[in-house]
Amino acid sequence: MITVNLDNMLWERHMKLSELSEKIGISMTNLSLLKTGKGRAIRFSTLNKICKVLECTPGDILAYQPDPEGVEYEEDIYSD
């Protein structure tokens, strides 16, 4: 499972979500969904903007953790 560490990066940069929203032109709602891990996807262009403003890499924001036993996800639309 992919986890989102946006909250940590904002804290480290002494930045509020509203400030990031303003700087990258992405709504607070969409950033909040991403921050709480409720978002289902992120565009590379959005990730690029976030990394540019926070001066970080995608790996600072996104992390992989093995799925808990018994958890199944919907099939990815790009799967063969």
What average pLDDT score do residues 45-65 get?
A: 96
Whether 44 is covered by a domain: the verdict is yes
What's the CATH number where 55 sits?
A: 1.10.260.40
pLDDT score of 72: 67
Whether 38 is covered by a domain: the verdict is yes
Whether 54 is covered by a domain: the verdict is yes
Instruction: Say yes or no to pLDDT of 57 above 70.
Output: yes
Predicted model pTM = 0.80
- Would you say 54 and 13 are in contact if contact means Cβ atoms under 8 Å apart? yes
Tell the burial category of 34 from Cβ atoms under 10 Å away from its Cβ (0-12, 13-18, 19+). buried
Whether 75 is covered by a domain: the verdict is no
Q: How confident is the model at residue 76 (pLDDT cuts 50, 70, 90)?
A: low
Range of the domain at 22: 2-64
Whether 76 is covered by a domain: the verdict is no
Tally of domains in the chain: 1
pLDDT score of 80: 46
